[in-house]
Structure 1
Amino acid sequence: MLLKRSLPKVRWKSWVKPWQQVDWLLFCLPVAVSMFGGLMILSTELKQPVTDWWWHWLVAGIGTFIALFLARIRYENLLQWHWITYGLTNLSLIAVMLAGTSAKGAQRWISVAGFNVQPSEFAKIGIIITLAALLHKRTASSLDNVFRALAITAVPWGLVFLQPDLATSLVFGAIVLGMLYWANANPGWLILLISPVVSAILFSIYWPLSEPIILFKELALGPLGIVWSFAMAIVGWQTLPWRRFGLSAIGAWILNICGGELGVFAWNHVLKEYQKDRLTVFINPDHDPLGAGYHLIQSRIAIGAGEIWGWGLFKGPMTQLNFVPEQHTDFIFSAVGEEFGFVGCLVVLFVFCLICFRLLHVAQTAKDNFGSLLAIGVLSMIVFQLIVNVGMTVGLAPVAGIPLPWMSYGRSAMLTNFIALGIVESVANFRQKQKYYL
């Protein structure tokens, strides 16, 4: 009789044993965010004959099962396949360029069985796996390994950039910087890596009532850029190994001068007017209220209209009357702000912070460097997308077309996020096992 009573308990424990060490808080929070995101998408399309909200939930359900499946497979197996993963990532990006589907001025999708698949989204997972495999034994404490990691990343990054998909290429940059930092790269080196981008911006900014500084023939630089380049020369002298004759400082200075000049050249001769407007409109959206600034103006009005507690689900006037373009994708956070107010926005951000803290915890408690780097790569991807998406929604960042993880509509992005979650859960699941009692 006692044996019969214990059997159901033993069977139940045997069934859940493959997921014994899974971080269930980390798993359940993205699922809850996905469900809430579907409600927000439904609110934006309540008066339209579309079913994106239903597809959002369906893909989230598929992603949930994929994540559970990946969580019970040992993540160490990815080490044996990382070069194949890298090759397939690049081949998929090349296939987009050769036979992809174009939309909104970019060729980013491949049609598979009637569905548009975006390989650049899945390429994020590919680069995380590849970099984790490269850095888990050879850390980024030497410049040789840093350059090796950058060279490996440059191929898929370049293919994504040529689509063109500037937003995803920026996510690649965030992933690489986060993983290099976790792999013991000198912070000064990371500052020098992003310094040319900063130079490209600062070299085009002149102080009020001042003239640009002429260093060489036809080379005009803003004073802020000059100050920045000399600051980076100091960073280079302090962190780079080639100090003899000041080569490290001179190299860092030249790097920023060249980066700044290339940025000025691209701004004046490469970028089209609509691209310039998209990058700068967040500073003054009223400059073009019916064009480039329209999305941002409507988004800020919707968020402001929500005040403290919001209008309530399905009751936001800006959302229900479709005043915010692309609200179900890039601007889904504005629907949260209008219908749930400032409090609702804080709750959503708090949930994302919990997700990020749990990802960091998995990285800190992983049993090896490979697992730790996988978790940090996913954390870098989520944090960057969260900051940029919320920032562009409220007018603090350029409109870059980066979705809000698990909330914005996008089937490829949703599956990518759940695959990443499943890999991290595998890292958590195969940590040091606790003794299991039946």
Structure 2
Amino acid sequence: MFFRARLKSYRRSPLAAWAEVDWLLLVACVALTGLGGIMIRSVEVTQGLTDWWQHWITGGVGLILAMIIAKSNYQTLINWKWIVYIIVNLSLIAVQLIGTTALGAQRWINIGGFHVQPSEFAKVGIIIVLAALLHEVKIPSIPDTIKMLIIAAVPWGLVLIEPNLGTSLVFGMITLGMLYWGNVHPGWLILLLSPIISAILTTVYQPAGIIWAVAMGFVGWWSLPWRYVTGPLALGMNLGAGKLGDIFWGFLQDYQKQRLIGFLNPEQDPLGAGYHLIQSRIAIGSGQLYGRGLYQGTQTQLDFIPEQHTDFIFSAIGEELGFIGCIIVLAVFWIICLRLVIIAQTAKDSFGSLIAIGVLSMLMFQVFVNIGMNIGLAPVTGIPLPFLSYGRSALLSNFLAMGLVESVANHRQRKRIF
């Protein structure tokens, strides 16, 4: 009788609808959002701006939406995949027609006084669409893979022409991560990336490009049908891509070349392409082990780093919270990635598993690129740091993505309590 009473009481609990939600994942996201607001306020304290509390309000709204989504059954989205796809593309087309321009790019739509960035929500939309399509095939064939790539290429192209290189790269990583988890042959994914790598290697060091092209010829021979045709075809494709990359590089202006390779040696242009990278490294280095303390960072408080509350928020963390603060932030991101992998492995169907991997690919790529450009290991691409950088559309889309993942976790096989 005692255990029956306990079980009946549990079922009546207000949290019973979220019995299987991954609370550690949710708490980690909320913690990063809270820290983001604190660091944004520190960056803007001398300017009297209110972006920090807008960050918290947006996070609160996102958390409420995430909880609502977590309670709902994610599987119903399978039947809505094409509606989602149409909405994603129409919103990106609307940006080209009625969007507003800022910082040299047309990426926002003004809705009721709020600037909404559809490309951020499009990332969540393409995760749903690709997950639903890959769920329908157990082992994708070459035609299936080409179909997925074409479907992903439409919103990717619309984002690229805004122009928004950073978000388009995120689209590419989402697609690759989900195709890999969806049992697409790894050799095909390598061949898909190979022309870009070939163009880069040939431009930097031609013998390396030739070696890469030969290796890709072997990959084509190993992974594709009609190997004695597709192998040489892969070799020729990579040699051609290397040549095109060399030609394309010659058409670029000097300032464009400097922007692309400036992160390798930012001291060559300390007041231009290398300015952000130099100042960010100075800020992170000056924080040393324990940091200078909130509102005490010289680079941060004296506004040496432009747009620090968005793309370069990690430099403020490094300066004011030090190495310890940076490690804690990285540890929280590691927890988030670990929980996403666990949810993907324990999901009750491939659709839910693919959603979790899509969100993992999106977040992991953004974290690596953003922190990389803050410490000088990657070029400046305009990719924000999830949950920490200011950006209402980005923060809201991250919470919507987490809501989908929590729905996958919440609708797993129920555990027996007693």
TM beyond 0.5:
yes
- The answer on 1:309 being equivalent to 2:309 is no
Paired position in structure 1 for 2:163: 164
2:301 aligned to which of 292, 309, 320: 320
- Shift, 1:264, TM fit: 2.5
- The answer on 1:391 being equivalent to 2:391 is no
Contact 1:139 1:145 in 2 (8 A): no
Alignment map for 1:42-121 (pairs within 5 Å): 42-121=41-120
- The answer on 1:346 being equivalent to 2:327 is yes
Q: Which has the larger helix fraction?
A: 2
179-188 vs 63-72, which deviates more?
179-188
Matched pairs, number: 415
* In structure 1, distance between residues paired with 2:115 and 2:139: 37
Paired position in structure 2 for 1:254: 236
* In structure 1, distance between residues paired with 2:288 and 2:207: 41
Contact 1:34 1:57 in 2 (8 A): yes
- The answer on 1:375 being equivalent to 2:356 is yes
Paired position in structure 1 for 2:25: 26
- The answer on 1:240 being equivalent to 2:224 is yes
* In structure 2, distance between residues paired with 1:255 and 1:154: 20
* In structure 2, distance between residues paired with 1:242 and 1:57: 56
137-146 vs 86-95, which deviates more?
137-146
* In structure 1, distance between residues paired with 2:175 and 2:47: 40
1:413 aligned to which of 387, 391, 394: 394
- Shift, 1:276, TM fit: 2.7
- In 2 relative to 1, CA 273–117 (structure 1 residues): closer, same or farther, beyond 3 Å? farther
Contact 1:140 1:180 in 2 (8 A): no
* In structure 1, distance between residues paired with 2:238 and 2:74: 40
- The answer on 1:294 being equivalent to 2:278 is no
Paired position in structure 2 for 1:227: 211
* In structure 2, distance between residues paired with 1:29 and 1:323: 30
String of CA shifts for 1:210-246, please: whole Å, max 9, x gaps: xxxxxxxxxxxx2221111111111111111121xx2
Equivalent residue of 1:204, what SS?
A: helix
The answer for unaligned runs of 5 or more in structure 2 is none
Equivalent residue of 1:108, what SS?
A: strand
Paired position in structure 1 for 2:147: 148
Please give the TM-score of this superposition, normalised by the length of structure 1: 0.92
The answer for unaligned runs of 5 or more in structure 1 is 207-221
Contact 2:10 2:16 in 1 (8 A): no
* In structure 2, distance between residues paired with 1:273 and 1:324: 24
Paired position in structure 2 for 1:214: none
Paired position in structure 2 for 1:432: 413
* In structure 1, distance between residues paired with 2:216 and 2:159: 29
Paired position in structure 2 for 1:211: none
- Shift, 1:368, TM fit: 0.2
Paired position in structure 2 for 1:180: 179
The aligned amino acid for 1:332 is I
* In structure 1, distance between residues paired with 2:317 and 2:81: 39
String of CA shifts for 1:21-77, please: whole Å, max 9, x gaps: 000001110001000011011110111121111111110011000100100000001
The aligned amino acid for 2:230 is S
